[in-house]
């Protein structure tokens, strides 16, 4: 599971005069690294210093700090949600266990990441709305449709609930938290552990796993 390079190993920031679109992207890229390192309370003055630009230049592209955080939210959260996932989840030509395995393999490859995990944790601790918005979006667009597909495949008298699915999802995300937040050892092959968790979950509702 990958992460970002430590700050001392990052390449020097390009201080040339850049086209506006490129400069804006540079600011967002560095803001992602910055907030992942120090939290959402990090000062834009320090961010500007790291970029080698003036604080006023940042506010030329982002009217307020909250606007910059919104751009970070889009980069870290929304841009990592694949538009292909809803189609995969509802593709009944594949067994539900296979669909879940593919989905969580792809999802894990995008969120088992230093910046994603740390911004997610910092945002939650700060009581920011980013996490709530992201989790609501995730539930509506992915987990609720997935729950519907699991219920279609289930033959057990008891139906899985959304809370059951959140428990599975949270357990999978915890693999990344262990690596990037707690710095604890994690499985060499996370997909094997993810598939085992999916298998146990589906098996409790008499559905074949991956």
- Does domain 20-77 fall under CATH 1.10.10.60? My reply is yes
* Whole-number Cα distances in Å, 125 to 41, 107, 168: 11, 23, 22
Cα separation, 88 vs 118, whole angstroms: 28
- Contact in structure between 1 and 84 (CB atoms under 8 Å): no
Cα separation, 47 vs 35, whole angstroms: 9
Find the mean pLDDT for residues 145-172: 93
**Distance from the first to the final alpha carbon of the chain:** 21
pLDDT for residue 70 is more than 50: yes
Cα separation, 103 vs 97, whole angstroms: 10
Q: Is the full-model pTM beyond 0.85? A: no
How many helices and strands in the chain, by DSSP H and E? 11, 0
Note the pLDDT tens digit of each residue in 103-143: 999 999 999 988 899 988 888 876 667 888 889 999 999 99
pLDDT for the residue 201: 96
Q: Compute the C-alpha angle 136/78/44, nearest 5°.
A: 105
Give 27-85 as a DSSP string.
HHHHHHHHHHHH-TT--HHHHHHHHTS-HHHHHHH-SSHHHHHHHHHHHHTGGGS-TTH
- Give the CA count within 13 Å in the CB-facing half-sphere of 81: 15
Cα separation, 175 vs 202, whole angstroms: 19
Cα separation, 112 vs 27, whole angstroms: 23
Cα separation, 207 vs 123, whole angstroms: 36
Note the pLDDT tens digit of each residue in 164-207: 999 999 999 999 999 888 889 888 889 999 999 999 999 999 99
Helices 190-203 and 96-111: angle between axes, nearest 10 degrees: 140
- Contact in structure between 96 and 205 (CB atoms under 8 Å): no
Note the pLDDT tens digit of each residue in 11-49: 444 455 777 788 899 999 999 999 999 988 899 999 999
Q: What is the CA radius of gyration of the chain?
A: 20
């Amino acid at each position: 599971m990958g992460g970002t390079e430590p700050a001392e190993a990052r390449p020097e920031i390009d201080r040339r005069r850049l086209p506006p679109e490129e400069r804006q992207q540079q600011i967002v890229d560095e803001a992602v690294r910055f907030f992942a390192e120090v939290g959402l309370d990090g000062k834009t003055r320090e961010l500007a210093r790291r970029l080698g630009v003036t604080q006023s230049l940042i506010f030329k592209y982002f009217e307020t700090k909250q606007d910059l955080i919104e751009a970070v939210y889009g980069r870290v959260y929304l841009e990592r949600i694949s538009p292909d996932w809803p189609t995969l989840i509802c593709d009944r030509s594949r067994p539900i266990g296979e669909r879940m395995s593919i989905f969580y393999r792809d999802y894990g490859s995008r969120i088992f990441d230093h910046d994603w995990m740390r911004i997610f944790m910092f945002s939650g601790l700060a009581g920011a709305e980013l996490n709530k918005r992201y989790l609501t979006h995730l539930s509506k667009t992915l987990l609720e449709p997935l729950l519907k597909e699991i219920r279609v495949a289930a033959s057990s008298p008891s139906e899985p609930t959304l809370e059951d699915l959140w428990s599975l999802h949270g357990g999978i995300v915890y693999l990344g938290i262990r690596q990037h937040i707690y710095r604890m050892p994690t499985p060499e092959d996370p997909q094997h552990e993810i598939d085992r968790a999916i298998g146990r979950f589906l098996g409790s509702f008499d559905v074949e796993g991956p």
